[in-house]
Amino acid sequence: MIRSRRNEILVAYALMAPFIAIYAVLFVYPSLKMFALAFTNAPLIGPGDWVGFKNFQRLWSDRLFWTSVWNTCYFVILSVIPSTVLGLVVAIAVNRLTGWLQSLVLAAFFLPYILPVSVVYRIWSWMFDKDFGIAQTVITPFTGGEHVSVFRTLPLFMPAVAFVTIWWFVGFNALLFIAGLRNISCEIYEAAELDGAGDWTTFRRITWPLIWPITALVMTIQLILQLKIFDQVYLFANNVRTDATMVMVQYILKQAFQMNKGGLAAAASMVLFILIVGVSVLQFQLLRAKGER
């Protein structure tokens, strides 16, 4: 018996070995290292001296850092709520359909999500192209026939990137909502109909309370995802005027790889880290509390 118990532990560690090795080297060590680095003046590669909270003070007084925080939050506001709401709308619309039409429509909404960001970037920079983009036919009536370079006009940049991001993610969100809608049993609806509940009442009293946990989930996923925004902003800005459109991950990369300030970059990473963990925990609790009521 003791022998087989020892055997079990041995087998368990043999199976855990790759996981332990990978996590120790690529997760635990880099996390602790990032934490330590944030309090030093180290360059990107190599040792540095302990400087206490100086890096954080420097971030506090760096206007570019605040620009990046603001741009990140602005992008999150522009993208998270619309993509969640649209996801729900699409889910309800798709859920009504049946058979091949449903699969086809769902695929049409979902296909963008499966594409790499660089492909999304290429497609939309062609759509919005200043000279020959097909989207200019939609834009020109508002500008009096003037073609607009959407990604080079500062006030339009973030909304346009958010728009593309919403297009990219709406099918993904819809899919999660559809999964949630399918979990609601038909009997509840039949019972409601017998009680004479109208469509609106049914939605408000049955669908919404049951769909609320999924909404919380989708919004949390989106929020965490979009706080990490970098790819689209970097690609669409195309190395032009990056300071004005800078987002947090971009700021971290700039400090680390262009300025060779590993310590400062680590401090900025910590701020992003705390922001993501804090916001997600807070939002999840908040939404859960509301859903339970």
Partner 1 sequence: MSAAAGLADDAVAAVSARRLSRLRNVNLLGLVATVATVLAAIVCAFPLYWGLITTFKPEDEIVRPGVQLWPEHFTFQNYWHVLTTTKIGVWYVNSLVTSAGVTVIVLAMAAGAGYAISQLDFPGRRIFWGLILASFMVPIPALIVTHFELMSQFHWINTWAGVIAPQLIAPITVIIYKQFFDSVPKDFREAAAIDGATEFQLLFRIYLPMNWGITTALAIITFIGAWNLFLWPFVAVTTDDQMNITVGITQVHDAFGVSYGRDLAVAMLAALPVAIVYLVFQRKVTQAIMLSAGIKG
Encoded tokens for 105:
């429509």
Smallest separation (angstroms) from partner 1 to the CB of 154 = 22
Q: Cβ closer to partner 1: 116 or 155?
A: 116
**Phi and psi of 50, rounded to 5°?**
-65, 125
Q: Cβ closer to partner 1: 20 or 244?
A: 20
Q: Cβ closer to partner 1: 90 or 158?
A: 90
**Phi and psi of 226, rounded to 5°?**
-80, -25
Q: Cβ closer to partner 1: 57 or 103?
A: 103
Q: CA-CA distances (angstroms) from residue 268 to 43, 46, 202, 254? A: 14, 18, 47, 11
Smallest separation (angstroms) from partner 1 to the CB of 231 = 5
Q: Cβ closer to partner 1: 209 or 278?
A: 278
Q: Cβ closer to partner 1: 158 or 254?
A: 254
Residue 270: in which H helix or E strand, if any? Answer: helix 262-292
Q: Cβ closer to partner 1: 26 or 154?
A: 26
Smallest separation (angstroms) from partner 1 to the CB of 181 = 11
DSSP letter (8 states) at residue 40: B
Residue type for position 128: F
Q: Cβ closer to partner 1: 154 or 274?
A: 274
Encoded tokens for 4:
């087989």
Smallest separation (angstroms) from partner 1 to the CB of 201 = 13
Smallest separation (angstroms) from partner 1 to the CB of 243 = 19
The count of other CB atoms within 10 Å of the CB of residue 241 is: 12
Encoded tokens for 246:
């800078």
Which residue from 76, 10, 57, 66 is spatially nearest to 280, judged by alpha carbons? 76
Residues 227 and 251: their CA atoms lie apart, in Å, by: 13
Smallest separation (angstroms) from partner 1 to the CB of 142 = 18
- Residue 229 and residue 247 in contact, taking contact as beta carbons nearer than 8 Å: yes
Residues 284 and 216: their CA atoms lie apart, in Å, by: 7
Smallest separation (angstroms) from partner 1 to the CB of 246 = 15
Q: Is 29 exposed, middle or buried (0-12, 13-18, 19+ CB in 10 A)?
A: exposed
Residue type for position 148: V
Residues 40 and 38: their CA atoms lie apart, in Å, by: 6
Smallest separation (angstroms) from partner 1 to the CB of 183 = 8
